[in-house]
Amino acid sequence: MVMRKFIWMFCVLVTHNFLFSQQDKLVFHPTFFNQTLKPEVYYKLNAKDSIQITSFKFYVSQLELLNGRETVWKEQSSFHLIDAFDEKTIVLSVPSNITFTKIKFQIGIDSLTNVSGAMGGDLDPTKGMYWTWQSGYINFKLEGNSNLCKTRHNEFQFHLGGYQQPFNCLQTVFVQVKSKANVTLNMDVAKLLLYIQLSELNHIMSPSKEAVELSGKITETFSVSYE
């Protein structure tokens, strides 16, 4: 009887580990008007503006899969630095053989992690996404050039972050999915730039009201496609 129970428990454990070890891909795909975003390329934003993106990085954290309102999987120690121009960083793994209808994640770093000080891995300050202990991590970094910017080299720089009220820039994203295998999350940076008047606003480099407002628009840039 004891042996039979042991065998049953062993089979359950093996089956559970097998199911959760099978992996599907979750790909973050930075785009500009549905074109894959590339460095050293100029894109037409509108009739008056030509844009080049030189740096595009952001943190994805607290990754979860939901079936309806129920969380069916949550990644532990979930911090990923996505670099639009580094293909090794844009592909994340999620377990297959799990039924889910939504993907939930945050753009940025939570307050508890921020007050823990500089850390390692993707949170290492050498990644260029950390200000100071007082301001914390940069959630989202977008840099480039626009002929509308009356700045040196026509550059713009948006470093969005801040974890203390009233300048908490952390954003939560919910994405509805129809198919769970190899989901691609397209992120259209053109939608964000269309919101900004680059001739008037071209630099955000610290926690601020403008950083909070612009961070809120990031959630509107996502769409879903399937491999």
pLDDT given at position 1:
54
pLDDT given at position 118:
72
Position 208 pLDDT exceeds 70: yes
Locate the domains of the chain by residue range. 24-226
Continuous segment of H or E residues that includes residue 107: strand 102-107
**What Cα–Cα distance (Å) separates residue 113 from each residue in 58, 77, 103, 164, 218?**
16, 10, 22, 12, 21
pLDDT given at position 23:
81
pLDDT given at position 182:
82
pLDDT given at position 21:
47
pLDDT given at position 34:
86
Position 16 pLDDT exceeds 80: no
pLDDT given at position 227:
72
Lowest mean pLDDT among 5-9, 119-123, 154-158: 5-9
pLDDT given at position 12:
43
Task: Read off the pLDDT of residues 20-47 as tens digits, 9 standing for 90 and up.
Answer: 446 899 999 999 998 999 998 999 998 8
Position 60 pLDDT exceeds 80: yes
Sign of CA dihedral 28, 33, 35, 38: negative
CB burial of residue 8 (10 Å; 0-12, 13-18, 19+): exposed
3 state SS for 142-191 = EEEEECCCCCHHHEEEEEEECCCCCCCCCEEEEEECCCCCCEEEEEEHHH
pLDDT given at position 22:
66
Q: What angle do CA 217, 92, 124 make, to 5 degrees?
A: 75
Residue 140 contacts residue 107 (beta carbons within 8 Å) = yes
| Mean pLDDT within 83-102 | 93
pLDDT given at position 226:
85
The DSSP code sequence of 46-78 is SSS-EEEEEEEEEEEEEEEEEETTEEEEE-TT-
